[in-house]
């Protein structure tokens, strides 16, 4: 096993959505390509919003996609470690206690903005004397900020290239809340260090966090790992996706019939210089995956793009892969492989199979245009009742052609519509042996 270690660190406060998948997949692929380790880390330090239900759902979604993790970690079980780190920062003079309420902070920010200054915390709490602090503590609980070194923090970003952020333009981050809750920034840094994480890929909304985290890691005596920030997804017109992410949860997409290979194929290439095409295994997806080929511009995501990939994925499935689904529809075993061959090219999602089986089993309401009524009636007189064989369609249409003189589309289309009730669908020669009933014929008799 190589020494590459990546992690996917969702907060179990909701279902995974398409944006989370991008982060999960990138981290998974980096580890997989290198023969390294992929850690699933649950950022559950918020006891009010984190639930076991969401933890289970996250695991189920990742399992469904085949994104297996080598190890799982849970922040709520590591609180002692975070408090140790906080104690070190406190002892080293990098932590200071603050008392301003959210309203007071808000007022400060407004004043700064009015004066045309950036709304960076002014470090007023550092000037408090011990007596003043003791007085404030009697009124309310203090919370803790990390004292940034006001220099430029630079790193080579795996996607964005050389990046730097002036720490003076960033507020000292709060790492421990007044109620004692350890916040993500501290927990994440301690975990990344303790777990030997070598590469972190996350959304570009974390760029400022990365700058502060680099300083915290260094203050704790660690070495920052490699960071990469992928662009955020937008809707097809470039609109913010954040409000729609609820409907773009992985479970919804799964429910709608999107397949894992379709999702993974799209998300592993979308926003990169490589074409999106169906790749049916994670090995194929990992092959050629390269972070450096992703751009910094927001990435347009259109859920519609998942359907051609889903179709292609389903069409490529051998019968054995769908045998259970087909058996569950009630298709007799003797007809099932042939049914799959006929139906596979006419489905977008697996659920569409039930419609085709209903057609085979019950037949369809005939669709007969008034001008074709006589022609169809004559043709039906030449059709025996089911069961049919592989040459029935050819034999029948040959006979109808000789009897009526019709040919081409004028011959085939009205017959297809009379038998299937629709103008498109499977090859009729292949469909006929599956037809158990033909209502048009029953009515004509």
Q: Which is nearer to ligand GLU, 208 or 256 (CB)?
A: 208
Least Cβ distance, residue 203 to ligand GLU (angstroms): 7
CA proximity to 180, closest of 106, 103, 82: 82
According to the binding rule CB under 6 A, does residue 217 interact with ligand GLU? no
Least Cβ distance, residue 191 to ligand GLU (angstroms): 9
Least Cβ distance, residue 209 to ligand GLU (angstroms): 7
Find out whether 199 and 9 touch, Cβ atoms under 8 Å.
no
According to the binding rule CB under 6 A, does residue 43 interact with ligand GLU? yes
Q: Which is nearer to ligand GLU, 201 or 219 (CB)?
A: 201
Nearest-angstrom CA–CA distance, 420 and 438: 9
Q: Which is nearer to ligand GLU, 33 or 206 (CB)?
A: 206
Task: Choose, by CB under 6 A, the member of 10, 260, 271, 425 that binds ligand GLU.
Answer: 10
Nearest-angstrom CA–CA distance, 238 and 398: 55
Q: Which is nearer to ligand GLU, 65 or 186 (CB)?
A: 186
Find out whether 276 and 336 touch, Cβ atoms under 8 Å.
no
According to the binding rule CB under 6 A, does residue 11 interact with ligand GLU? yes
Least Cβ distance, residue 159 to ligand GLU (angstroms): 14
Q: Which is nearer to ligand GLU, 123 or 177 (CB)?
A: 177
Question: What count of other Cβ atoms lies within 10 Å of the Cβ of residue 15?
Answer: 20
Least Cβ distance, residue 206 to ligand GLU (angstroms): 6
Question: Binding mask 58-77 vs ligand GLU (x if CB under 6 A, - otherwise)?
Answer: --------------------
Q: Which is nearer to ligand GLU, 78 or 311 (CB)?
A: 78
Cβ contacts of residue 418 below 8 Å, gap of 6+? Answer: 366, 367, 368, 372, 376, 379, 380, 440
The total number of residues shown for the chain amounts to 445
CA proximity to 212, closest of 246, 169, 242: 169
SS3 content of the chain, % helix, strand, coil (to 5): 50, 15, 35
Least Cβ distance, residue 201 to ligand GLU (angstroms): 8
Least Cβ distance, residue 290 to ligand GLU (angstroms): 20
- Interhelix angle 392-404/373-380, rounded to 10 degrees, is 120
Cβ contacts of residue 362 below 8 Å, gap of 6+? Answer: 436, 437, 439
Nearest-angstrom CA–CA distance, 382 and 395: 10
Least Cβ distance, residue 213 to ligand GLU (angstroms): 8
According to the binding rule CB under 6 A, does residue 16 interact with ligand GLU? no
Nearest-angstrom CA–CA distance, 378 and 404: 8
Q: Which is nearer to ligand GLU, 69 or 388 (CB)?
A: 69
User: How many residues line the site for ligand GLU (CB under 6 A)?
Assistant: 8
State which H helix or E strand residue 219 sits in. Answer: helix 207-219
According to the binding rule CB under 6 A, does residue 202 interact with ligand GLU? yes
- 411, two tokens: 């011959």
According to the binding rule CB under 6 A, does residue 191 interact with ligand GLU? no
Residue nearest to ligand GLU as judged by C-beta position: 43
According to the binding rule CB under 6 A, does residue 242 interact with ligand GLU? no
Q: Classify residue 127 by its DSSP letter.
A: G
Cβ contacts of residue 302 below 8 Å, gap of 6+? Answer: 235, 236
Which of 7-15, 64-72, 299-307, 410-418 is the region at the interface with ligand GLU (rule: CB under 6 A)? 7-15
Task: Choose, by CB under 6 A, the member of 4, 9, 322, 400 that binds ligand GLU.
Answer: 9
- CA 234 distance to own-chain centroid: 13
Q: Which is nearer to ligand GLU, 11 or 112 (CB)?
A: 11
Which of 3-11, 115-123, 218-226, 279-287 is the region at the interface with ligand GLU (rule: CB under 6 A)? 3-11
- Tell me how many degrees the CA angle 18-20-26 measures, rounded to the nearest 5: 105
Which of 4-12, 46-54, 298-306, 338-346 is the region at the interface with ligand GLU (rule: CB under 6 A)? 4-12
Binding site for ligand GLU (CB under 6 A): 9-11, 43, 184, 188, 202, 206
């Amino acid at each position: 096993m190589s020494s590459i270690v990546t992690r996917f660190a969702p907060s179990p406060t909701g279902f995974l959505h398409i944006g989370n998948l991008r982060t999960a997949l990138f981290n998974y692929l980096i580890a997989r390509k290198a023969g390294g380790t992929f850690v699933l880390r649950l950022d559950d330090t918020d006891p009010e919003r984190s639930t076991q239900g969401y933890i289970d759902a996250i695991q189920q979604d990742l399992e469904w996609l085949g994104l297996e993790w080598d190890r799982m970690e849970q922040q709520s079980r590591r609180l002692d470690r975070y408090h140790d780190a906080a104690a070190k920062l406190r002892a080293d003079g990098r932590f200071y206690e603050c008392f301003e309420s959210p309203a007071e902070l808000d007022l400060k920010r407004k004043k700064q903005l009015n004066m045309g200054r950036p709304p960076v915390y002014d470090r007023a709490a550092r000037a408090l004397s011990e007596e003043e602090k003791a007085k404030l503590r009697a009124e309310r609980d203090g919370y803790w900020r990390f004292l940034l070194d006001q220099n430029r923090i630079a790193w080579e970003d795996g996607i964005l290239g050389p990046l730097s952020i002036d720490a003076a333009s960033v507020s000292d981050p709060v790492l421990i809340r007044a109620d004692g809750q350890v916040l993500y920034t501290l927990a994440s840094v301690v975990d990344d260090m303790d777990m030997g994480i070598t590469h972190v890929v996350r959304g570009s909304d974390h760029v400022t966090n990365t700058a502060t985290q680099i300083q915290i890691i260094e203050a704790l005596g660690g070495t920052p790992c490699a960071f990469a920030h992928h662009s955020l997804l937008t809707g097809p017109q470039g609109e913010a996706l954040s409000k729609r992410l609820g409907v773009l949860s992985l479970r919804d997409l799964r429910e709608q019939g999107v397949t894992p290979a379709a999702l993974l194929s799209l998300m592993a290439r979308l926003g990169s210089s490589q074409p999106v095409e169906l790749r049916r295994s994670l090995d194929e997806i990992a092959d050629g995956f390269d972070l450096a080929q992703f751009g910094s511009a927001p990435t347009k995501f259109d859920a519609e793009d998942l359907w051609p990939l889903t179709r292609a994925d389903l069409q490529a499935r051998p019968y054995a892969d769908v045998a259970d689904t087909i058996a569950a529809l009630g298709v007799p075993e003797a007809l099932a492989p042939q049914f799959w061959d006929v139906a596979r090219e006419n489905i977008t999602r697996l659920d569409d199979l039930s419609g085709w089986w209903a057609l085979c089993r019950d037949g369809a309401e005939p669709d007969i245009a008034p001008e074709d009524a006589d022609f169809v009636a004559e043709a039906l007189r030449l059709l025996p009742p089911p069961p049919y064989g592989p040459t029935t369609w050819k034999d029948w249409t040959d006979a109808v052609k000789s009897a009526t003189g019709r040919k081409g589309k004028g011959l085939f289309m009205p017959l297809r519509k009379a038998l299937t009730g629709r103008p498109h669908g499977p090859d009729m020669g292949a469909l006929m042996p599956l037809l158990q009933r033909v209502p048009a014929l029953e009515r004509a008799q």
